[in-house]
Amino acid sequence: MAPWPAPPPPPPPPPSLAAPPPPGVSAKGPPARKLLFMCTLSLSVTYLCYSLLGGSGSLQFPLALQEPPGAAEPPPPSLPPPPVRLGAPSQPPAPRPPPPPDNASRGEPPEPPRQPAAPGADGWGLASGSGGARDAWLRTPLTPGEMVTAQSALLEREVPESSTTDEELAGRRAANGSGNAVSTPDYGEKKLPQALIIGVKKGGTRALLEAIRVHPDVRAVGVEPHFFDRNYEKGLEWYR
């Protein structure tokens, strides 16, 4: 009978994954140094990649927050200098000076502050002190000085044509003979009309009267008097 074969010898232990220590180095030293080297290398590569991808500004952001850009200390010599991005300014842009006024940009001397015009000297017939409508118009900041001057001259030329003072009204009444007002205890001062609306029936005279009546200086009768066609015989004393 054949004898049982001898059991196979146990397999040799697998070779260690770690490289055999070089001669002259202890067994625990190389892995620690290698791990430290790998960490340093990975950090360096990470920093390099991050800087190449444009993250240098982000890396310097905390330093920029603490100190002004000009006072930032140079990087230590051990670290590689951050790469300079093409097209990026080497120095941060200087703060913009405040925009000069319009007159300075055109080479004109600065305009002195406006003084409120004397009342009655502006030709508007309105009180032009502080807070007047014309002063508010002149102080509009978006309007150039030339435009304001031109518009003011235009308004001063146009307004006197349409403005009517109390003295002018009194003169017109005296000239028209309508200044003879009659005072009555019931109706107060009664005057002859200064204007008449004459129109045919259904010609829109009522609508015209209502439109004119909106003006604060207009006093009109409530109903159509029909003086000339129905009540002429009653005389001017009735018409007043």
Ligand X SMILES: Nc1ncnc2c1ncn2[C@@H]1O[C@H](COP(=O)(O)OS(=O)(=O)O)[C@@H](OP(=O)(O)O)[C@H]1O
Active site residues per annotation: 202
Instruction: Find the binder of ligand X among 28, 96, 106, 202 (CB under 6 A).
Output: 202
178 touching ligand X, by CB under 6 A? no
Q: Are 114 and 100 in contact (CB under 8 A)?
A: no
Q: How far is the CB of 134 from ligand X (least distance, A)?
A: 35
Q: Are 102 and 96 in contact (CB under 8 A)?
A: no
Q: Is the dihedral of CA 188, 193, 194, 197 positive or negative?
A: positive
Q: Is 143 annotated as a binding residue?
A: no
> Does position 203 bind ligand X by CB under 6 A?
yes
Among 207, 216, 223, 233, binds ligand X (CB under 6 A): 207
In this structure, what token pair is assigned to residue 170? Answer: 């009194």
Report CA torsion sign: 74, 78, 79, 84: positive
Q: Which x/- pattern, by CB under 6 A, does the window 110-149 give for ligand X?
A: ----------------------------------------
- Structural element, H or E, at residue 156: helix 145-162
225 forms part of the interface with ligand X (CB under 6 A):
no
> Is 31 among the residues that bind ligand X (CB under 6 A)?
no
User: Per residue in 151-174, is it b (16+ CB within 10 Å) or e — as a string?
Assistant: ebeeeeeeeeeeeeeeeeeeeebe
Q: Which residues are annotated as a binding site for 3'-phosphoadenylyl sulfate?
A: 202-206
Residues that bind ligand X (CB under 6 A): 199, 201-207
